[in-house]
Structure 1
Amino acid sequence: MREHFFWGGFMKKTQIFISLFAFVTFILLSTNLYADSAESVVTEGHSHEDVKRGERFFKGLLPFDREYSSCVSCHNLNRVDTLNWNPSAMDIAIKYADKDFESFQSSVMNPVGIKMEASHVNFDISEEDLKTVKVYLDNLAHTGVPPAKPTHYNLILFLFLGLLITWAVVELIFIRKIKLKFIPLIILLGAFGWQVKMIVTDAIKLGRQENYAPDQPIKFSHKVHAGENGIDCMYCHTTAEQSKSAGIPATDLCMNCHILIREGTNSGKFEIAKVVDAAENGHSIEWKRIHNLPDHVYFSHAVHVGSGKLDCMQCHGPVEEMDIMQQHSDLSMGWCVNCHRDTEVDFGNNGYYEHYVKLHEEMKSGAIDSVKAVDIGANDCMRCHY
């Protein structure tokens, strides 16, 4: 009787635990599920149906018999991994939000520029339908693109592994119904080991952002500028040899070239027009920083580039091949320490290292044939943390 009472109570508690787990999982998966259901604010004088109809035309769902490419095939709504040279839907929406329909219609139906003319060839849409597209874009400029919904798969997996661990412990200590004891033991060790692996992996990633490539306010391609056109890094990043930071080029520096070059082979006029507008109106272009270090770490470009004579790609990777600039290395302490151990210093003909008299004498006598960064204190803790 006591065993039956214990078993019944345990099963009831287990059912409650599983139900609670399923409820939490449902809540996590449905986060932001209804975020898009709230009615957005539409342009004055137009209905929600006008917005939806314009959205269908923009996405190519209407008309059914169209023979031209849809708007969204060139002007993406969501972020993509490769560089889409065409302006995004949000870019267009913001540009024409305060302009009348005639300006928008002229730009679409009578495009100016080689790139845009080629993209809009055979584009045919009635005036009434194009008006709904303008309504949709005006609304998009107001509401913005819906944010990407977060995923919770790792959390759900972690909770599921916890459930397996709980079952295995209860089975081994209390229930003891399974004759082959190694089965729950294997499940216990496997689930616990996987949880530890998940924790360690995520802990190591804290503060690191390898491959980080945020959307920039202007689609600037290092592949075009540094690769195809061969512009030297120091032409734009003028303070890399003398300052802690490599610096972001001023808009006036961009205009040294773009005072004449107003249309790109790939991007057309839209992106370059942003640079010209910023220069003419005195606006700052708010570039997003890609390479970030923790606050307790000191790093100087002047020491590495100016004194150490390191090439930019040693840390930043093949920048001349990147359309979308991203963080190439993880910039972890281990990565820096290993670099200091492996990198030979330009020691012989570098005035910065003249005061290392003993090392110079050893090199002249042949006692050593090279000097690594670690040999001159690069891995001393206080060099980076003070």
Structure 2
Amino acid sequence: MKKTQIFISLFAFVTCILLSISSYADSTESVISDGHSNQDVKRGERFFKGLLPFDRDFASCVSCHNLNRVDTLNWNPSAMDIAIKYVDKDFEAFQTTVMNPTGVKTEASHVNFKIEEEDLKTVKIYLDNLAHTGVPPAKPTHYNLILFLFLGLLITWAVVELIFLRKIKLKFIPLLILFAAFGWQVKMIVTDAIRLGRQENYAPDQPIKFSHKVHAGDNGIDCMYCHTTVEHSKSAGIPATDLCMNCHILIREGTNSGKFEISKVVDASENGQPIEWKRIHNLPDHVYFSHAVHVGSGKLDCMQCHGPVEEMDIMEQHSDLSMGWCVNCHRDTEVDFGNNGYYEHYVKLHEELNSGAIDSVTAADIGANDCMRCHY
């Protein structure tokens, strides 16, 4: 009986831990300025999210201006973008933009939008508050941790049953549960260990909604026009704002995005503020990689590593960039020896190619998989 009570107490203790982990409290306090109350903020939030008015016959603000990150590109400015832009501006400027917008895209979106002035003021209050507090972060999920701990409970129960309780006559049942739960835990550990440091499909929010599909795909802009150092430098380079202005000195409104996103480029150029793009493709510090070797000398196409960039509205890491992925690529990729002066000094390989002793040369054949090439 005591053993059973101990087991129940252990189970209750672990359950309390799980409940405390899964609970999440947002400790961020609202910043109310200009004497507005929290009730004003809440009312403005309801109007923004379409909960008010009840007889609304037009689209809600949040249906276009999302509060949380989405997987597909929403061309409209987010609620946070709008909040930051108008937090230091008066209500008249905000009202003019909402009720009398300029630009083909914005006019079409706001054509049937109707809201009372007093209600629109509460929306402005809500957005001003949002600019101070930020969007509440998404609550973290702990499914893997909960599953791992649950499997641990099953293992504990199976061990207790086999050694102490011995109430189940068919001993293979707790033994089977023990090995199955332990095996699944090992699988989870190995999987997460392999993924450590890798970020396949990583697609962070960028400060400007830049679509490679529009620029490289629809408009056919060559990758090297923007990434100017890709053939001669370790890094492909991030285009300077002035390079963007080569086109956007004239193009001030996008077919999909309207004026809002392009205005960020223009403002950055006029104010001399660099755009803080977020790096997507990252390698560990102990790995050396050079675009000059792969693109400049090896003549590889960008999509071989980065995938179909011309189809991506939201740029993401296409390959896992693991060591195994690189090694296999070196083994499979044939080097263009005949038309590439970079490889002229490989005399023996040229002789073997000319004599027919070999029909091709891979990157691995010229030492691409030597450890010191990447780890020195």
Compute the TM-score of the two structures, normalised by the length of structure 2: 0.99
What's the CA shift string for 1:44-95, capped at 9, x where partnerless?
2211100000000000000011111000000000000000000000000000
Distance 2:164 2:56 in 1: 69
Distance 2:42 2:166 in 1: 60
Of 238, 263, 266, the match for 1:276: 266
Of 271, 277, 280, the match for 1:287: 277
Distance 2:307 2:353 in 1: 31
Q: Report the counterpart of residue 108 of structure 2 in structure 1.
A: 118
Q: Find out whether 1:361 has 2:351 as its counterpart.
A: yes
How far apart are residue 31 of structure 1 and its match? 2.4
- Where do residues 215-254 of structure 1 align in structure 2 (5 Å cutoff)? 215-254=205-244
Q: Find out whether 1:371 has 2:348 as its counterpart.
A: no
Distance 1:182 1:218 in 2: 60
Q: Find out whether 1:18 has 2:11 as its counterpart.
A: yes
CA contact (8 A) 2:233 2:292 kept: yes
Of 171, 187, 190, the match for 2:177: 187
Q: Report the counterpart of residue 3 of structure 1 in structure 2.
A: none
Of 38, 52, 74, the match for 1:62: 52
CA contact (8 A) 2:29 2:133 kept: no
Q: Secondary structure at the match of 1:185?
A: helix
Of 252, 268, 271, the match for 1:262: 252
CA contact (8 A) 2:151 2:185 kept: yes
How far apart are residue 112 of structure 1 and its match? 0.3
Q: Secondary structure at the match of 2:169?
A: coil
Distance 1:207 1:39 in 2: 34
Q: Report the counterpart of residue 207 of structure 1 in structure 2.
A: 197
- The one-letter code matched in structure 2 to 1:192 is F
- The one-letter code matched in structure 2 to 1:30 is S
What's the CA shift string for 1:335-360, capped at 9, x where partnerless?
00000000000111111101100000
Distance 1:261 1:28 in 2: 50
How far apart are residue 201 of structure 1 and its match? 0.5
Distance 1:302 1:160 in 2: 50
How far apart are residue 39 of structure 1 and its match? 4.7
- Where do residues 301-380 of structure 1 align in structure 2 (5 Å cutoff)? 301-380=291-370
- The one-letter code matched in structure 2 to 1:378 is A
Distance 1:326 1:248 in 2: 15
Q: Find out whether 1:137 has 2:134 as its counterpart.
A: no
Q: Secondary structure at the match of 2:114?
A: coil
Runs (5+) with no aligned partner, structure 1 = 1-7
Distance 1:190 1:283 in 2: 57
CA contact (8 A) 2:248 2:266 kept: yes
Q: Find out whether 1:9 has 2:2 as its counterpart.
A: yes
Distance 1:297 1:22 in 2: 43
Distance 1:24 1:121 in 2: 52
What's the CA shift string for 1:135-160, capped at 9, x where partnerless?
00000000000011111111111011
How far apart are residue 174 of structure 1 and its match? 1.9
- The one-letter code matched in structure 2 to 1:132 is T
Q: Find out whether 1:150 has 2:140 as its counterpart.
A: yes
> Runs (4+) of structure 1 moved beyond 3 Å?
none
How far apart are residue 9 of structure 1 and its match? 2.0
- The one-letter code matched in structure 1 to 2:20 is I
Distance 1:227 1:66 in 2: 39
What's the CA shift string for 1:283-321, capped at 9, x where partnerless?
000000000000000000000000000000000000000
- The one-letter code matched in structure 1 to 2:23 is S
Aligned CA-pair RMSD: 0.8
What's the CA shift string for 1:232-267, capped at 9, x where partnerless?
000000000000000000000000000000000000
Q: Report the counterpart of residue 73 of structure 1 in structure 2.
A: 63
Distance 2:367 2:106 in 1: 56
What's the CA shift string for 1:109-137, capped at 9, x where partnerless?
00000000000001110110000000000
Q: Report the counterpart of residue 95 of structure 2 in structure 1.
A: 105
Runs (5+) with no aligned partner, structure 2 = none
Distance 2:113 2:56 in 1: 9
Q: Secondary structure at the match of 1:28?
A: helix
Compute the TM-score of the two structures, normalised by the length of structure 1: 0.96
CA contact (8 A) 2:200 2:319 kept: yes
Distance 2:23 2:354 in 1: 70
Distance 1:128 1:115 in 2: 26
